[in-house]
Amino acid sequence: MSKHHAELPDVVDAPHRRPKTNSTSRRLIRAASFAMVRGAAYATGTAAVSVLVWWLTSR
């Protein structure tokens, strides 16, 4: 290794870490909730544009 870079310590698993399955389920829940929020934003935006177009054409 170069003399300009410090040696990194070896990574040791901490005893307080949760099992991998909990991490995976947490990641899946987070991905699902992100998709739900994104879908809700898409639906709200589509509805708003539709109402705006309807309002402009019916005036």
Q: How many angstroms from the chain centroid is the CA of residue 54?
A: 34
Write out the two tokens for 46. 């589509």
Are 1 and 7 a contacting pair, CB within 8 Å? yes
Write out the two tokens for 23. 């991490």
Residue 54 lies in a domain: yes
pLDDT in tens, 7-57: 766 666 666 666 667 888 999 999 999 999 999 999 999 999 999 999 999
pLDDT at 42: 98
Q: How many domains does the chain have?
A: 1
pLDDT at 17: 63
Q: Which domain holds residue 58?
A: 32-59
Residue 20 lies in a domain: no
